[in-house]
Amino acid sequence: MKEILWKISILTLFLIGSYYFFMGELARGQVNDNYSKFTHQSPSLIIGLSRAHNGISPKVLDSALSEVPYQRGFLNFAFEKSQSPYGKVYLEAVKKKIPEKTKQGIFILSVCPGSFMTPIQLTTEQEIEDLDKKSLVGKINQLNKDPNYEYIRKGYGGSLYKALIPHNAKITTVFHNDGWEEFRLSAQGYRVSNEDMAHWTSQTIRGYRGMMKTNPEVVSTHRMESFKSLISYLKNHGQVFVVRMPLDPLVLGMENQWWKEFNTEMTLISASFDVPYFNFSDASQYKTYDGSHLSSSYAKDFSTRLANEIKRYYRNPQM
């Protein structure tokens, strides 16, 4: 009996050791596109949904804003739609990302109709909060650990043994440690064609239309109020900029049909908190690869444009 218990103990220790070994190996590489967002705090943040996740480069901003008096080190803390709509859960996560002594940060709040909408069947604030708690920022308590084993347990989703397999896939997506997911139109052995992008854009439009038929969404008062609370909180730590990202004219037309007064409401909210609202939604010179998200070169160009608008604001806050 003692021999059996001894063997079980040895096997258990081996399995636990192997588990943490593979987690450690995985953490030394690029876990996935969101991992770096959960490894450190930052005094300046990019906040919002996937358009900001793909479309704003922290490195470009930091470089272009070198003469602006702010606490450097942007982190892109934006996610896809299901992970970071405005709400209490995202608000509390953002609070954890900012060092307590931050007073001169810059906070870019990307907005679009999807940032404030919820499925029509969710009728109470608690139902919305329960939904948001299932997101990455809702499931993970330790948002600033490196290595972050909690993230690997709850947010990786793959087999840990893959940590030992060299990653040689020829893909156009590049994940950066500052949280930016860069989408390149070409990589070794692969190139995105105009036909590809036209097809993806048509899929985006069909997807939006299908979602509104099969799982319609409505504007959430909870999300709107949480957005206002976030602006109020961030103003204690620096300067806030509300930004609507560029997108394909066809997708913009759909959004404007769903929420005709969106820009007016964002303007009024921004004015009530004395923060600028930059609306780039019809800046058609910045091309998307799927109707909604900027490809690499346009994301860099747009980040430079955004930085120039921020610099202009610092020179003339009354603009």
User: How far is it, in rounded angstroms, from Cα 273 to Cα 227?
Assistant: 11
Residues listed for the chain = 319
Q: Which of 79-93, 100-114, 171-185, 250-264 is the least confident region?
A: 171-185
Average pLDDT estimate for 70-96: 95
Q: Which amino acid is at 65?
A: L
- The structural domains of the chain, with segments of one domain joined by +, span 41-142+169-315
Residue 141 identity (one-letter amino acid): N
Using CA atoms, how far apart are residues 314 and 319, in angstroms rounded to an integer? 9
Quote the pLDDT of residue 124.
94
Strand spans (E) along the chain? 44-48, 74-78, 105-110, 117-119, 173-175, 181-183, 186-187, 190-191, 217-219, 238-244, 277-279
Output the pLDDT for position 146.
87
Superfamily grouping for domain 41-142+169-315: SGNH hydrolase (3.40.50.1110)
Task: Give the residue from 292, 4, 236 showing the smallest Cα distance to 100.
Answer: 236
Least confident window among 107-116, 158-167, 235-244, 291-300: 158-167
